[in-house]
Amino acid sequence: MSPKRRKQDEEEYKKTLYALDFTWSDEARLYTFLKKREAVRHVVKIRNAFGTLIYTLFECFGQKDHEHPAYELITLEAELDFHASILLAFSGYYKQALMCLRSVFELIYYAMYYEQHREEYTDWKKGLCKSPLFRNILPFVFKETNLKQHKQKWESEISRLYNYLSQFVHTGAIDMTKLWEGRDNAPRFLPNSFDLWYQALQRVSRVAAVSSIIQWGDSIKRYLGNDKSGMYQEIISLLEQDDVHDLAV
């Protein structure tokens, strides 16, 4: 590419960013870093730990079964939704970031459901049947998967978190959560909205990690074996101390 053509492309690229209002997101990312530096550092740790969990599940299932629901729904779809949530939140799109978190949350339990309904899963991917409702999946998960042994502690917590995230998907409870506090019609850094998302990110990553360890813990431990790189401890960092004690991990 000639220097002249490169300069023309760069100028057109800058004009395109300006025309699409992408520069607002650049400013939102900068202020997020400047005003929420400690939280940003923690988000990086959460992202790395969640990525380690995803990578481990990828290795557990992807090598043997490329159509395993955990491989396709978690290590491919949920991982991208998780990263998209972070990008959107840092860019000032908080409602959309929360919507992606709900998708991550759903896909964890869809994978558990479809793991035992493989024919239905195949039909679902082909568009031959509707997506099951989350409220119908949850009772199955706590009856037919390894989570049944933890029903008392986790069923209500998972249900509450899902309902909380659903409020944002349907633009409900806006006044109660103050999601729109300080906003206008452009993506901006909004401290309260960022905090709402940040708290939700911590809750989703924790519950997703706990559920994955309960359901696929044997596979995770078998893959990591005598792990000396700290990968298992990084996954465990997503849990709270009570979780570590309860799960004996």
Q: How many C-alpha atoms does 221 have within 13 Å on its Cβ side?
A: 8
Q: How far is CA 77 from the centre of its chain?
A: 9
Residue 178: exposure state from Cβ atoms within 10 A (0-12, 13-18, ≥19): middle
pLDDT at residue number 176: 65
pLDDT at residue number 182: 72
pLDDT average, residue stretch 185-198: 90
Range of the domain at 165: 3-247
- Which residue stretches of the chain are H helix? 3-19, 22-35, 37-62, 69, 79-90, 94-115, 118-125, 134-144, 151-169, 174-177, 191-224, 231-236, 241-247
CA proximity to 46, closest of 91, 96, 99, 89: 89
Above 90 in pLDDT, residue 174?
no
Total domains in the fold of the chain = 1
Above 80 in pLDDT, residue 159?
yes
Residue 66: exposure state from Cβ atoms within 10 A (0-12, 13-18, ≥19): exposed
